[in-house]
Structure 1
C-alpha cells in the first residue's frame, strides 16, 4: 500500500537561544543552522523511515531543489512535488532553548500555492486501502480529502497549526484526527463538545513526554502508551515523527498498540537529536532503542 501526503516543505532555520525573548527584546543567538523541515516533509520522511511507501504532494521554489533531493534520499517519492520558479519556498524560524523546547514562526510560500490539478494527478493511482495524510500548512486539504474518500483511502488529518475554519471544513471527511493536547482542547471548545465526542471515527492525542492516547470513538476503545524517558535536545518535529511512524505502522498492517509503541519510540529518539527531518531515526534505530528499554527476562 501507499501513503500519500499532501504536506508542507520548509527550509528550517534553527537559532539556539539562552531563553525565549520577551516582547520588545533583542536576544543574541549562540548558534544558527538550516535544514529540511515543514510538517509535511517531516511526516513523509518519518513514514518512509518507518518502512512505508510514501508519495509526497507539495511544492517548493526554484531555490530549494536541495530539499526535494533530501526527501528522495530518505526514500520519499517526490514525483508530485512541484517546483515553482517564481515563488519562494516556505520556511520556518525556530528558536530552541537549552531544555530543547522551541518557538516557531512559519512563512507558507509555495506551500499554499498548490493546484487542484496537481493533487488530482497525484491521487490518480491511489487505491482503496491507501492512506492520505494532511496538515494545516498547505491549501487544498478539502479537495484532496474528497478525492481520497472517493477512491477509498483512509484520511489522516493533523489539525496543526490550529485553524478552526480549516478543521470545520475537513472534519466530515476525516477517518483519523491527530492532535496534541492543546489542539484537542481548542477543537473541542470550537465545536462545543468533549474531546471524546468529536465527530470522527478515531482520535489520536499526543501528550509530548507523557506519550499518546488512541481513541476509537465508535466503540469507545482507548489505548494509551507512555513515552520513553529521554534527555531532550530539540523537540522540533517530534509530533511529526510520531504521526509519520504511526501511519507507517497502519500502512504495514500492524496492530494499533504496536503502531503507538513504534511512534512514541521514534519521537523520543528524535528529540535527543538536533534538527528536524534529517534527525528522524530509521526504523532499525527505533527497534534497537525500544529493545534496549525492555528489561531482561
Structure 2
C-alpha cells in the first residue's frame, strides 16, 4: 500500500449521508402505548457520513465524493457539519435534485435500543460518472456502502486499479450488480445480521470463512456487544474473535459506522488488520458511552488513552 503522505486524502467516502432527528425516550413503546419524550436533537448521520466524521476525528484527511444538493436545508446542514469537521467537499457532486437521507431515530434508555425510520426521497449517492478518476486515485482508502450501485462500481474499479484499499459497509443486498460489487471489495466489514443472512451460515464466525476470497485482504463481522469476528489471508479458515470493551452503554446510534470510519483511518496509517480492528472496536465502544450519533464520536487522544488501558 502507498504511504500515507503519497496521497492527497487518507479516506474518501462515497455513499449515504443523512440528517437525523433523534428522539430520546425511557423505553421504546409497544403498540398503542404513549411515552414521554425526554429530549430531541438534530444532527448529521448516515453510514458514510458518520464514518467520515469518525475518521476525521482520528486525524485522517477525509473527503466526501458522493452527491448532495446545494440549496435545500438538509444538504446545507450536512455541508456545514462536514466543514466544521474538516471533511473536504471540493469533489462532492452538486446536484440541485439531490438530498441526504432524512431519518427519525428513537433512542431508548432501558434497555439501550435505537429504532430508525428513514426516508431516501431525493437521495442520489454515487454519481455514475463523477468525480473524475484522478480524484478517486488520490486517496489511500475508499469507503463504500450498498447504495447507488452503478456509480459505486465505477469508483471501486478505478480504486482497485490504482492500488487504493476498498472498504465496504453493506447492510443489505441492493439488487442488480450487488454480487459483483461485493466480490470486488478488499476489506468487507459487515454487521452480523446481514453477514449471517447472506451466507446462510448461522454464525458470525462461519460467515467470515464463507465470505473470504483470494482477492480479499480482510473480512470483519461486527456483533455489537459481543465484539467481532475477523480473518485475513492467514486466519480466514480459523477466524479470530475480539470481545467488545466493557463500557457503560448510553446510546448505540452510529456505533457500526464509527467502527468503519476508525478501521479506515487505521488502514490509511498502515496498520495491520489486527490493529485496525482493535482501533475500530475502541472507537465504537467509546461512542456507545455518549448520546448522539456523530455528536458522540471520540477524538484521537481519548481513543488512544482508552486503548492504553484496554487489555
Q: TM-score, normalised by structure 1?
A: 0.87
Question: What is residue 49 of structure 1 aligned with on the other side?
Answer: 57
**Residue 116 in 1 paired to residue 133 in 2?**
no
| C-alpha distance in structure 2 between counterparts of 1:162 and 1:126, whole Å | 24
Tell me the C-alpha RMSD between the 2 structures: 2.5
**Residue 39 in 1 paired to residue 51 in 2?**
no
Please say if residues 111 and 137 of structure 1, whose CA atoms lie closer than 8 Å, have aligned partners that are also in contact: no
- Runs of at least 4 residues off by over 4 Å: 23-28
Gaps of 5+ in 2: 5-9
Equivalent residue for 2:159, pick from 119, 137, 148: 148
Q: Are residues 126 and 118 of structure 1, via their aligned partners in 2, closer, same or farther at CA, if it must alter by over 3 Å? A: closer
Question: What is residue 72 of structure 1 aligned with on the other side?
Answer: 83
Question: What is residue 290 of structure 2 aligned with on the other side?
Answer: 273
Gaps of 5+ in 1: none
Q: Are residues 217 and 159 of structure 1, via their aligned partners in 2, closer, same or farther at CA, if it must alter by over 3 Å? A: farther
* 1:217 CA drift (Å): 5.2
Question: What is residue 257 of structure 2 aligned with on the other side?
Answer: 240
| Deviating more after overlay: 145-154 vs 204-213 | 145-154
Question: What is residue 208 of structure 1 aligned with on the other side?
Answer: 224
Please say if residues 16 and 97 of structure 1, whose CA atoms lie closer than 8 Å, have aligned partners that are also in contact: yes
Q: Are residues 106 and 20 of structure 1, via their aligned partners in 2, closer, same or farther at CA, if it must alter by over 3 Å? A: same
Question: What is residue 93 of structure 1 aligned with on the other side?
Answer: 104
How many residues are aligned here? 289
- For 2:143, what is the secondary structure of its paired residue? strand
Give runs of aligned pairs for residues 1-297 of structure 1, distance below 5 A. Answer: 1=4, 2-23=10-31, 27-61=35-69, 62=71, 63=73, 64-98=75-109, 99-112=111-124, 114-119=126-131, 121=132, 123-127=133-137, 130-139=140-149, 140-163=151-174, 165=176, 167-189=178-200, 195=207, 196-200=209-213, 201=216, 202-216=218-232, 220=236, 222-294=239-311
| C-alpha distance in structure 1 between counterparts of 2:232 and 2:98, whole Å | 42
Q: TM-score, normalised by structure 2?
A: 0.83
- For 2:41, what is the secondary structure of its paired residue? strand
- For 1:79, what is the secondary structure of its paired residue? coil
Q: Are residues 263 and 143 of structure 1, via their aligned partners in 2, closer, same or farther at CA, if it must alter by over 3 Å? A: same
